[in-house]
Amino acid sequence: MPSSPEEICLHVCITCREAGGPEDKELRPGAILCRALTAALSQKGSPPVRVKPVECLSVCKRPCTIAVSAPGRWTYIYGDLKADTAVDTIIDGLRRYAATSDGLVPWRERPEAFRKGVIARIPPLKTSGTA
Amino acid sequence: MPSSPEEICLHVCITCREAGGPEDKELRPGAILCRALTAALSQKGSPPVRVKPVECLSVCKRPCTIAVSAPGRWTYIYGDLKADTAVDTIIDGLRRYAATSDGLVPWRERPEAFRKGVIARIPPLKTSGTA
């Protein structure tokens, strides 16, 4: 059973620092990205996604890092996303994810940053078919 | 609410090939590891975990790769595991994961292969507290 779009969760790691980047937590790339995504996803017409900041996704060498998940759908983790340019790309990818029943967006339909930046994917915990 | 240990799922990627490794799907390192883990986890006294083969976890450059997940617990993805030596280590790590309520095993208590091989981690979809 696919989840409703409202249950899609976008975790954004707010902790990673870029080499030479500022110490201030509010100025770290993931924190900037998280605020920008929260603002963008509150706009009318945006895919219905909950944004949740997280202290660490254990992908520390490839900031910014996000995880997209929903009950009954595959989870995807992406890295190498730029705080200042990735918002539109991420929202495009979320819209495509929301349009699927299982989270599997065909490779060629994924934003390029998602194709290049994929860190891992995990099947949903409970599926109606095979693993 | 933590899940019961019976709901812990171990996904094992059975697809990746090592450089120069055999083409035969049954002889790929993940397939060998998956069979060994299934046998080991059927032994009395093993942590109660369902082993599920999966075609691709998108961590293609670091075989063997596994994902450990359960409802209400953090999901962890590990790579760089050796098919012929990692079974005991993985079962040790699973036992520690099963002993937690949220999937968070303290860093120093994790098997070394889990500390070095962590690819990513993702919070549970629904938590009772903060993200």
- Nearest-CA distance from A128 to chain B in Å? 14
- pLDDT for position A22: 82
Q: What is the pLDDT of residues A29-68, one digit of tens each?
A: 999 999 999 999 999 999 999 999 999 999 988 999 999 9
CATH number reported for the structural domain that contains residue A102 in this entry: 3.40.30.10
- pLDDT for position B2: 52
Q: Write the ipTM.
A: 0.89
Are B122 and A122 a contacting pair, CB within 8 Å? yes
The mean per-residue pLDDT over the stretch B90-96 comes to 97
- List CB contacts (< 8 A) between B71 and chain A: 125
Question: Is there a domain that residue B10 lies in?
Answer: yes
Q: What is the pLDDT of residues B29-58, one digit of tens each?
A: 999 999 999 999 999 999 999 999 999 999
- Domain interval for residue A15: 5-122
- pLDDT for position A47: 92
Are B81 and B37 a contacting pair, CB within 8 Å? no
Chain B residues near any Cβ of chain A (below 8 Å):
7, 9, 11, 52-54, 56-59, 65, 67, 69-71, 75-77, 118-123, 125, 131
User: pLDDT-derived band of residue A20, with 50, 70 and 90 as boundaries?
Assistant: confident
Is pLDDT above 70 for B6? no
Question: Is there a domain that residue A129 lies in?
Answer: no
Question: Is there a domain that residue A54 lies in?
Answer: yes
Question: Is there a domain that residue B46 lies in?
Answer: yes
- pLDDT for position B14: 96
User: pLDDT-derived band of residue A131, with 50, 70 and 90 as boundaries?
Assistant: very low
Question: Is there a domain that residue A131 lies in?
Answer: no
- Nearest-CA distance from B111 to chain A in Å? 16
User: pLDDT-derived band of residue B127, with 50, 70 and 90 as boundaries?
Assistant: very low
Nearest residue on chain B to A59, judged by CA atoms? B120
The mean per-residue pLDDT over the stretch A119-126 comes to 92
Are B1 and B56 a contacting pair, CB within 8 Å? no
- Nearest-CA distance from B59 to chain A in Å? 5
Question: Is there a domain that residue B131 lies in?
Answer: no
Instruction: Output the six-digit token pair for B121.
Output: 């981690």
Residue scoring higher pLDDT (A2 or A60): A60
Contacts of A33 (CB under 8 A, 6+ apart): A12, A64, A66, A81, A83, A86, A87
State how many domains chain A has.
1
